[in-house]
Chains A and B, each alone.
Chain A
C-alpha cells in the first residue's frame, strides 16, 4: 500500500491515526480535575508537536542516515521563518506562498552552507555548521535589524503592503489563513467533563507533517536512502564502488535543511512572529537532542523525542507550588509540605532539571532512544513484530 512495506505502513498509519485523534489522546483528563494540568491538547502545543516533529524528521534524514551531525540546523528553521513572514508582509496572509518560500529559501541557504561545510567530516563538519548558524543568529540579532527586526523580531502589521490581499476592514488585524480559513479557528467539543479542541492550524500542520513523514519514509526505503546509509557506513568502499559520496551528502543536507525551513514556515503560519533566538545554538542543539532522545535513524523516534521535549517545556514548566498544594489538598498539611518540598525542585522553574535527568536516564538505560523503550515494552507483551523495520531491514518476499 502506498508503496510502503507492511511494517512501514503499520507505523505510518499509526502516526496518522494518532495525529488525527491527538486532540482526544492529548486531553485524557477531565477539565475540572487536578490532573488537567497534564493535558496537552490545546492548539499551540499540538502545533508545536507536529512542527518540531517535522524539524526532527528532517534532521534525522541527515544525521540518522549519513551520520553527519549538523549543529546549525536551527539556522535553516530561522531563515525559513523570516522568508515566510516576509511573504506574509509583502504578498498575502495566505500561508501557502509563505510556506513554499520558506522551503525554497532554506534550501538555497542549505546548498551554500552544505557545500562549504561538507568539505570536512566528523566534528570539523559539526563546528562549521555551528559557526554558520551562530553567525546567522548574531547578525540577525544586531546589524541585520532592518531585515530581521532584531531582538524584537517581525510580526505582520496593519500597515504592511500585502499586495495580493484585499484591504482590511478597519479594526481588523491581519491573520494567517488558508484561502480564508484562519489558522486560529477552533472547533470545540464538550463531552461531560472533557473539552476537546480541534484547531484548523493544527490540522493544516498535521497534514503537512504526515506528508513530510511519508516522504521521509520513502527516502529511507529508496535506493537514495540506502546510499545515504552507505555514506555513514563506509565512504571508502563507496568511492571504490563507483559512487560519489559528496553529492549524496549534500543532497541529504539540503533536503533536511528544507524540512527545517518547512518547519520554520509553518511556525510562522501558526504563530505569526519570528525572533532571532530561533537560530541560537541551543535551538540547533535541541533538535539534535530530540533526534537522539527519540532514536537516531528510526522513523518515528524523532517525532517522539520532539514531543517529549516540547511537552516538558510547556507542561512541566507551568506547574507551580500552588498547583501542587491543590493536588495534595486531601492529605494532611505536613505530608503535603514534604511532598511539595520533594517535588517542587523538579517542576515549574526546575523543569530543566527534570529534562536533564531524562536525557541521562534515556541514554543510559535505553541506548536506542525512546523507540527502543517502545520495542522493549512491545517485546514484554510477547509481540514478535518488529515495530521498527530499520535495524532488521529485510527484503520483502
Chain B
C-alpha cells in the first residue's frame, strides 16, 4: 500500500515503472480520454511514443492499405535514425535528427479500417484507448477520413489524413485536430481543365458518370465547373451506384447523347470497371462531332490503374504525386523537367526496401508522418494544440511536391498538382502513368470559406 500511483498505459509500456502496487482509481470527469497530469490525451511519459496507423487491410482497398503501411514503417525507421533517412535529408525543416520524436523512440500500432467508417473508428479508438496512440493516420477513402477525423477531435489526438480526396475532409467536415496533405476534388478540377482544353480543344461536350456518394458529387462539381469555365458543355451527369460492377448500361448511351468526352468520376474498383467497360465499348475509336472521342479519369491511382491494365493508355487524370518525378520528364509543351531530389530520395529508400516504387498513397502517408514528427519537434511538445499550431501556416519544401503550405484556415496542404496520362509504352508493371504537367499551386488555390464547415478549436482531451 506504499506506493500510490495514477498511471497511463504509456508508462507501463515504456517499462519505467515496474510495479505500482495497489493504486487508487482516479476520476477524470471532464473529458473522454484525458491523460491526467500531462494535460492531454495519451501524453507519452516513457521513452517511447506510439503512433496509430489505421489503414484498410481487408476489403477492396487492402493493397493500397498495404502500401500505406509500408510507407509508415519506412517513416518510422527514418525517424528513429535507421535506414538511409529518405526525405528527411531533403526536407526543408531540419528539426528532426533521427532520434525519434523529441528524443522518444517512435513505436506504432496498426489496425484495419476495412474501408468502413464504423470499423475504422473502432480500430482508431482501440489505438487511442488501449495502445495509447498519440496520433492517428491513414485511410483510403473520404468516408473513413471524415469519421476518424471527428473521432480524433473528440478524443483529443491529432489526425493526419491518408488518402482522402473529397472536398469535405477539409471543407464542410473539417476539424481542428485533423490535417490533410493530399489534394482534393477542387484542385483536381482546376488543374485538369486547362490541360484538357489544351489537348482536346475548348468546344467539347462532356458526359459525366459519377459515383453516387459525397466524393463523387464534389469531384463531378469541380470538374464540371472548371471545364465549363473553359468553354466545355456538360451534356449529362449520371449517378452510378457504389455497388455497381458492370457499367455497360451507363456507358452504352453515351455515344447517342452527342457527347465527345466521357468523364469517369469513379475511384478504386468502380474506376477500374467503368474504364474497362468504356474501352470495351470501343468509345475511344469513335469520332463524334468530327472529334476523337476521349475519356478522362479525374483521380488516378497507380495501384488501381494497374487493375485496368492497358485500358489506361492515353487517358488523362490527376494525382497527388508520382514516382516518375524522381527521374524527371518532358511535359506536354515539350519542356524538360529536372528530376526532383526529394522524390528520388523517397523512391530510392522505398524501392530498395520493398523492391517496387511507392504509390501516391504511400507518399502522402510517409509525408504526413514526417510532418507530424517535425511539428512536434518544432513545438517541443506532443500536445495537440501545440502540434497543430506548429503545422498551421507551415511552409515547407523537399517532400516531393515542391513548396507547400499547410493552410491555417482549413488545415489543407496547397502545392502543385500533377496531371498525368496513361503511358503508351510502359516498361514495367509500375510504369503506367506519365506526368504531363505540373499545375502550379496558384492555379488550384481557393478561398477557405467556400466549402463551409467550422474548424473549431483544438482539443487536447484534458
Contact = CB atoms under 8 A, between A and B. Distances in A.
A186 B461 CA distance: 12
Contacts of A222: none
Interface in B14-42: 15, 18-29, 31-33
Count chain A CB atoms within 10 A of each CB in B123, B147, B458 and give the residue with the most.
B147
A185 B29 CA distance: 6
Which of the four size classes fits the interface of chain A? Answer: 35 or more
B7 interface: yes
Interface string A153-170: 101011100000000001
Given A48-B122, A189-B25, A277-B116, A184 B33 contact: yes
A42 B154 contact: no
Given A190-B20, A195-B9, A273-B117, A153 B146 contact: yes
Nearest to A157: B454
A188 B26 contact: yes
A151 B12 contact: no
A195 B13 CA distance: 11
The binding surface of chain A is classed by DSSP as mixed
B302 interface: no
Contacts of A32: 12-13, 15
Nearest to B459: A173
B352 to A, nearest CB: 19
Nearest to B148: A273
Interface string B108-148: 01111000111101110110011000000000011100110
B62 interface: yes
A141 interface: yes
Contacts of B111: 317-318
B67 to A, nearest CB: 12
Given A48-B122, A173-B459, A349-B58, A152 B173 contact: yes
A109 interface: no
Given A142-B212, A187-B27, A275-B118, A151 B129 contact: no
B95 to A, nearest CB: 27
Contacts of B28: 185-187
Nearest to B116: A277
B243 interface: yes
A324 B342 CA distance: 33
Contact of B19 (A45, A150, A193): A193
Interface string A181-213: 011111111111101011000000000000000
A182 B129 contact: no
A375 interface: no
A348 B57 CA distance: 8
Contacts of A138: 241, 243
Contact of B142 (A151, A182, A184, A188): A151
Given A188-B25, A314-B122, A175 B143 contact: no
Interface of B: 5-9, 12-13, 15, 18-29, 31-33, 57-58, 62, 65-66, 109-112, 116-119, 121-123, 125-126, 129-130, 141-143, 146-147, 150-151, 153-155, 166, 168, 173, 212-215, 217, 239, 241-243, 454, 456-459
Q: Which A-B residue pairs are the 5 nearest by beta carbons?
A: A184-B32, A349-B57, A44-B125, A275-B117, A171-B457
Given A187-B28, A313-B119, 19 more contacts: A31-B9, A31-B13, A42-B126, A43-B129, A141-B212, A142-B239, A151-B242, A155-B173, A171-B458, A173-B459, A184-B154, A185-B31, A188-B26, A195-B7, A275-B117, A275-B143, A278-B118, A314-B126, A317-B112
23 contacts: A42-B129, A44-B129, A138-B241, A141-B242, A142-B239, A145-B214, A151-B142, A151-B213, A152-B147, A153-B146, A158-B454, A170-B457, A175-B31, A187-B27, A189-B24, A190-B23, A192-B20, A192-B21, A195-B12, A313-B122, A314-B126, A318-B109, A318-B111
